[in-house]
Amino acid sequence: MAGWRRAVELAMTAEEIETLTALSRSRTEAARRVERAQMLLTYRQQPSFFAVGQKLGVHHQTVQRCVERALAYGALAALDDRPRPGKEPTITPEAKAWLVSLACDKAKEHGYPHELWTTRLLARHARERGPAAGHESLAHLVQGTVCKILGQEDIKPPKVRYYLERRDAEFEQKMAQVLCVYREVQVLKKAAAESKKSAKSAAIVSYDEKPGIQAIATTAPDLPPVPGVHATFARDHEYKRYGTLSLLAGIDLLTGKVHALVRDRLRSKEFIEFLKLLDTAYPASTAIKLILDNHSAHISRETRDWLATRPTGRFEFTFTPKHGSWLNLVEGFFSKFARSVLRHIRVTSKHGLKERIMAGIADVNRHPVIHTWSYKLAEAA
């Protein structure tokens, strides 16, 4: 005859009681953890397996096992299942290593038209080639097991993460030159604030081009939102193209004013036209310093010949390093302009697009924003 089940004393610390109370009321924890937390708290108030089981709607032996685990391993450890031995793995460690090594290759290197592996293709390849490579355990490999094995090694062969290789041997030196210009901007701003004079000895302009702005027209009218029915504008998916335009823009880093031109093409001729625009915008005594990239139009013979006609010191170029356009502050302006003025824009002609762009530039200049560079500025020489 089985012995009488005696109540055992379950001692818990204040911290354990507080944690169990929070878990017993949780809506996001696993149901088994919430239930076991409730068992332990109820048993602490009423030390009877049968009474706790009746109150919570579980068998009294379930309560007993939970309490015994709490006595043996601690109240919080009793909330989780004890580790089980599980089934012996059928895929050997050598087979897993072979599969992971295979995933680190490209699929095309193994005779497939795919550039990279998919997990389904990788599983099929392992089933077909694994046994011949001495890994019989891969003969029945499935896609889900491939995902599990690769997940353990944090390998994602179907994905590509892009990086930017530094191809400019003088990247650091050129970056330092750009940062020195930004430091000069900082000094000029401080001097202007102290002297409160509007006259400037230098104008510093961050310049770049945004080519390929598409002039796109709708083929049917846009439908406006209807409260309670349609939350957004509705637009027919068909469209008509009229071509592209290029925006040539430079931001005065001292005033925030944007100088801009919109042209059909982007050549030395258009760049010289922009330089002429700057030449007329500033007094003859002001030195115009440009931060710009290494576009061929910026260093062409035509550009150099035109610059030779200007007074010495009128224009000074500071070039960003190759693949270092992120050092140019105007890139932030282009990003903001594309996400505001150019986003979802529809026009009826290239001329209409040009007018909209220039109207957007005029709107920016009505409320100019003075851009400030801060990254690594303290390290500038």
Give the tokens for residue 225. Answer: 């939102």
Average pLDDT over residues 273-299: 94
> Is residue 317 scored above 60 in pLDDT?
yes
pLDDT value for 359? 96
In degrees and rounded to multiples of 5, residue 113 shows phi and psi of -75, -15
pTM of the complete model: 0.68
Q: How far is CA 379 from the centre of its chain?
A: 26
pLDDT at 6: 63
pLDDT at 4: 47
Q: How confident is the model at residue 377 (pLDDT cuts 50, 70, 90)?
A: confident
Least confident range from 195-209, 233-247, 292-306, 340-354: namely 195-209
pLDDT for residue 1 is more than 80: no
Q: Is the pLDDT of residue 290 over 60?
A: yes
pLDDT digits (tens, 9 = 90+) for 2-50: 444 566 788 889 999 999 999 999 999 999 999 999 999 999 888 899 9
Q: In sequence order, what DSSP letters do the residues of 325-375 get, joined into one string? A: GGG-THHHHHHHHHHHTSTT---SSHHHHHHHHHHHHHHHHHS-------T
Confidence of residue 201 (pLDDT cuts 50, 70, 90): confident
pLDDT greater than 60 at residue 380: no
User: What would the pLDDT profile of 108-160 be if each residue is shown by its tens digit?
Assistant: 999 999 999 999 999 999 999 999 999 999 999 999 999 999 999 999 999 99
Predicted confidence at residue 376, as pLDDT, reads 76
